[in-house]
Amino acid sequence: MVQMPESKWSNTSGGGGGRTPFGPQIQFNPQWIKWVVMAVVALWLLSGVYIIGPDERGVVRRFGKVVRITEPGPHYRLQRPIETVNKVKVEKIRRLGIGFRTVSPGPPARYKFIEAESLMLTGDEQIVDAQVIVQYQVQDPNKFLFNVKGLERPNGALMDAAEVALRQVVGKRPIDDVLIGEKLQIELDIRELLQRIIDRYDGGVKIRVVKLQTVRPPKQVAKAFSDVVSAKEDKDKVIKIADGYREDVLPKARGEAQKIIEEALGYKAERVERAKGDVDRFLAVLKEYKKSKDVTRKRLYLETMEKILPGIRKIIIDPEVGGNILQFLPLEKGGEK
């Protein structure tokens, strides 16, 4: 038993290094070991290949120092202890919310509201409930990776800064401006302030959009606020009704006014026409009268008398008999005195 390996050792002593105590079937071959070493080295070298996606940049560090930023495509880096690569999605629009967290992206998306973040003081010492969404993008991958610790973490630098900006901007305005008027301006102001804060940390981030998500009065006062809205509607309604009254009354009044004038016009025309008629009649009569004055006059007189006298009480006295008419009157009246 002892001799066997001994003889084997002596057989292959020329190869050196390779010492196998297991059976003679494994033939130690320098050619073979060369291939193995080459394969291992090749694999090791190949492992330095990496691919940068179309929306990414690669940041390569050699012994911790950034030496190059690589564009999309395949690249090569030296092995592990020497060079490392970090891939950063620079095209991606990143998003963070203040006042709420996305529980599940849905659809339908579900959110958890965080009042401690969303309730804030306004410029006139009232309280408003505001949530904001910030969209940002990596502008400088190097700064983004290495300048700020915990930049994107929950309650990290970005979130803190966004919260500061939101509160500072809202704090400058009275509640009515925040709720109704100046949404766009507020968004711009927050964006500008947030960018300024992040730039001070040199965070390599570009703030794209700041959007006010919901801005509303806190629920403790929501009823009073919505009553203001309905009061406004009440106001409009009452005015509309009054306008309705106006639109009802005025046309009728105009109609009545027109009627009064038309009646007067009718009266005027009637008066004139009647006068003309009377005059025509008079002139016609006059024309005939002029032809035979005395007869006509007499006839007219008599005709009138004929008409009058039958209807009335008459006392006929002879002026030669009784000079005073009055003395006959009591007889007629039957003792009236």
Helix/strand/coil (H, E, C) string of 277-303? Answer: HHHHHHHHHHHHHHHCHHHHHHHHHHH
Distance CA 101, CA 167 (A): 18
Per CB under 8 A, 40 contacts other proteins: no
Q: In the bound complex, what is the minimum distance in angstroms from residue 105's beta carbon to other proteins?
A: 27
Site track 209-248 with other proteins (rule: CB under 8 A), x = hit: --------xx-xx--xx-xx-xxx-xxxxxx-xxx-xx--
HSE (CB half, 13 Å, CA atoms) of 149? 0
Phi-psi region of 120 (alpha: psi -120 to 50; beta: other; left: phi over 0): beta
Distance CA 45, CA 42 (A): 5
Q: In the bound complex, what is the minimum distance in angstroms from residue 8's beta carbon to other proteins?
A: 16
Q: In the bound complex, what is the minimum distance in angstroms from residue 162's beta carbon to other proteins?
A: 10
Phi-psi region of 226 (alpha: psi -120 to 50; beta: other; left: phi over 0): alpha
Q: In the bound complex, what is the minimum distance in angstroms from residue 63's beta carbon to other proteins?
A: 4
Per CB under 8 A, 125 contacts other proteins: yes
Per CB under 8 A, 17 contacts other proteins: yes
Q: Closest CB to other proteins among 42 and 257?
A: 257
Distance CA 13, CA 22 (A): 16
Q: Closest CB to other proteins among 73 and 123?
A: 123
Which residues, 298 to 337, sit near other proteins by CB under 8 A?
300-302, 304-305, 307-309, 311-319, 325, 328, 332
DSSP state of 49: E
Which residues partner with 52 through β-bridges? 73
Q: What are the structure tokens assigned to 315, written together?
A: 């006392």
Which residues, 249 to 278, sit near other proteins by CB under 8 A?
249-250, 253-254, 256-258, 260-261, 263-265, 267-272, 274-276, 278
Going from the C-alpha of 245 to that of each of 11, 232, 236, 240, the distances in angstroms are: 125, 20, 14, 9
Q: Phi first, then psi: give them for residue 20, nearest 5 degrees.
A: -115, 120
Contact stretch for other proteins (CB under 8 A) within 27-35, 46-54, 55-63, 104-112: 55-63
Distance CA 287, CA 281 (A): 10
Contact stretch for other proteins (CB under 8 A) within 28-36, 49-57, 59-67, 88-96: 59-67
Per CB under 8 A, 116 contacts other proteins: yes
Q: In the bound complex, what is the minimum distance in angstroms from residue 34's beta carbon to other proteins?
A: 14
Single residue of 61, 195, 204, 210 touching other proteins by CB under 8 A:
61
Per CB under 8 A, 156 contacts other proteins: yes
Site track 184-203 with other proteins (rule: CB under 8 A), x = hit: -------------x--xxxx
